[in-house]
């Protein structure tokens, strides 16, 4: 069975590329650099349901992504989370946080409505992501 | 340099035991079964700052804990997160969520003030944790 991204994730995000295990999505909210990893495995809602090999690969991809984002965007803190109360398909948030962002120090979920990127903003962040992640992505969109 | 738990985590939680890498803490909030893993490493604020070996060990401990909690407490969903906006010392939340808990479907942080366990409630949940985790904990308190 081929992998299909949950419709809500499709609506809220833009695909940037793929790691070995996971799709890399950018949440279309210009208030925070907010990326999501979605392991391309069907019927998985929790990290522990992945095979041990996939768990390790996910940790590897998550750490590469978090370190790259923290450095490229000069984050004050990374917020990394598997919540999934609304969208059961396993997806792991990676959010760049600043001490002066609109939601700080609260977590971002449910705080403010998304403010979509303008085309100019989107092109800029996409270029930055592809440049900094290019050696780690298997493919890009 | 020996490891020292952040004072805020000491205040908010009760130590349950230790895995190979991490301390296992119970947050003193009876509204949700809420456990925290704290890798016993100094000066670490992000998972990617751990050695690769520690990253894998943390993933292992996190998956054991999440699976055990999900099964023992019949969770509707596990919420797993490294936030750390208030307490920089790396700590990973593992929260058992139910579709009828007070905060659902929102994340729990900043939602409701903690309601501490009574002694009876605490003894019951501690016993349950130690029983279900006994083969995976290196030591218990």
Q: State the complex-level ipTM.
A: 0.96
In the sheet that holds A13-18, the strands lie side by side as: A139-140, A13-18, A22-27, A34-39, A92-97, A77-82, B77-82, B92-97, B34-39, B22-27, B13-18, B139-140
Give yes or no for residue B36 having a pLDDT over 80. yes
Query: What is the DSSP track for B99-111?
Result: TTSTTTTS-STTT
Q: What's the pLDDT score for residue B114? A: 97
Q: What's the pLDDT score for residue B141? A: 84
Which residues on chain B place their C-beta less than 8 Å from a C-beta of chain A? 45-48, 55-56, 58-60, 62-64, 66-67, 70, 77-86, 88, 97, 104-107, 109-110
What is the nearest CA distance from B78 to chain A, expressed in angstroms?
A: 7
Among B53, B76, B79, B85, most A C-beta atoms within 10 A, so best to mutate, is B85
Q: How many residues does chain A have?
A: 141
Closest in B63, B67, B82 to A80, CB measured: B82
A86-110: burial string, b at 16+ Cβ within 10 Å, e else? ebebbbbbbbbbeeebebbebbbbe
Q: Evaluate if pTM is beyond 0.95.
A: yes
Residues ≥6 apart with Cβ < 8 Å to A67: B46, B48
Tell me if A27 sits within 8 A of A34, measured CB to CB: yes
- How far apart (Å, rounded) are the C-alpha atoms in residues B116 and B98? 19
Closest in A48, A78, A82 to B46, CB measured: A78
A11-39: burial string, b at 16+ Cβ within 10 Å, e else? ebbeebbbbebbbbbbbebebbbbbbbbb
Closest in A45, A55, A86 to B59, CB measured: A55
A1-38: pLDDT as tens digits: 799 999 999 999 999 999 999 999 999 999 999 999 99
Give the residue-averaged pLDDT of A102-118.
Answer: 96
Catalogue all structural domains in chain A, each as residue range(s) with its CATH number.
Answer: 7-140 (3.30.428.10)
Q: What's the pLDDT score for residue B93? A: 98
């Amino acid at each position: 069975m081929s992998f299909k991204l949950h419709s809500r994730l499709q609506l809220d995000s833009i695909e940037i590329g793929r790691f070995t295990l996971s799709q890399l999505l950018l949440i279309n909210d210009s208030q925070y650099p907010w990326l999501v990893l979605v392991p391309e495995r069907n019927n998985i809602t929790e990290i522990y349901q992945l095979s041990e090999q996939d768990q390790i690969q996910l940790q590897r991809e998550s750490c590469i992504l978090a370190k790259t984002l923290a450095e490229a965007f000069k984050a004050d803190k990374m917020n990394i989370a598997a919540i999934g109360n609304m969208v059961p398909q396993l997806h792991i948030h990676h959010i760049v946080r600043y001490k002066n962002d609109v939601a700080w120090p609260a977590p971002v979920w449910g705080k403010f409505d998304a403010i979509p990127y303008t085309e100019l903003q989107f092109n800029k962040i996409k270029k930055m992501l592809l440049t900094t992640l290019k050696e780690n992505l298997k493919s890009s969109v």
